[in-house]
Structure 1
Amino acid sequence: MKQDDGNSNFKNKLGKLPPPLFGEDDCDRPACHDMMSQMKKASQASQEKKAVDCPPNSGVLGRASWTLLHTMAAWYPDQPTAEDQQHMESFMSALARFYPCTWCARDFQANLEESPVPTSSRKELCQWMCEQHNLVNEKLGKSVFDCDLKNLDKRWRKNTQDPECKTSGLLH
């Protein structure tokens, strides 16, 4: 008799996942840019002596997390289905529970209690995400962002005005 490895339920769920929200022609998105050159660099790097990869500190983790969160919000559907909304709520709840920085996780949990994630539209989610980021920045003594959707889209969705953004997608 085959012993359950504990992953069968997870594998069953994976088998039932719908296709991605977006079709295969999405590599005009900044998140897809330069994939081939990155793969080439990765291949070359694996042949060279590798530097030590250390676990991220809170600053590195925070920047990466905000980049992911803002970009997810920027590409969230304008008119999400009930299932889309449930998945976004679950994602944020899981993030608040499992975020590796304990203080950050508790702070985000409190923020979610006070201001639950709005999932009824992309605009609301983008602006809420910006407001959440601003709350953190204020606590850290950093500058805050303009939460106007046009500005957010330019930063996190597509910036066709800056030639550098068309090729690299690496604004900091």
Structure 2
Amino acid sequence: MDVYYAYNYAAAGWMILQSIPLLSSPTMMVTMLSPEVRETTPLEAYFSRSLGFAAITLGLLTVLLTGSIPLTTSFSDPSSKLDDPTAPYALPTLVITASYHAIVSFYCYTMWNETGNFGFGISTIVGSSLAAAGVWCVLFAATDGRISRKTGADKRTSGFPFKNVEAEKKRAGKKAL
């Protein structure tokens, strides 16, 4: 579960880090994106700040909905704590944020190939890493394995390309009795 929580905090941190320039200086963002230097229009400033607030909101919702910060209904009710450390919306939130990072990293990659801008390259690397970590969490950290108490092996494994000869011997011995 450590990778799961690390992914949640890293995704939220990356979204908040991206929102800081949008909130603090829309003029700088328009100047970097525009071929000519000019003052921002009120509409551009509005969209820049709205996008910054949306990115912060998505980052905070990622942390809250995935159960990284446990939320209870009451401060004094210990019975409301769940045995499962993840929230009920953890897997859908994880899938959505991993998809978001994959789409954004693909967009940044295409822009990096077109413009050669260093910022798009960094965004491609960070976004791809977050998308890969999110997919890893969806595949491997979303469910607890069914570990056998006797052998310590995962019960969901199959012996497809290789046969488990020892298990077959034990089964044959039980059938003979």
Q: Higher relative contact order at CA 8 Å, sep ≥6: structure 1 or structure 2?
A: 1
Please state which band the TM-score falls in when normalised by the shorter chain. under 0.3
**Structure 1 length-normalised TM:** 0.26
The structure with more helix, counted as a fraction of residues: 2
**Which has the higher Rg, Structure 1 or Structure 2?**
2
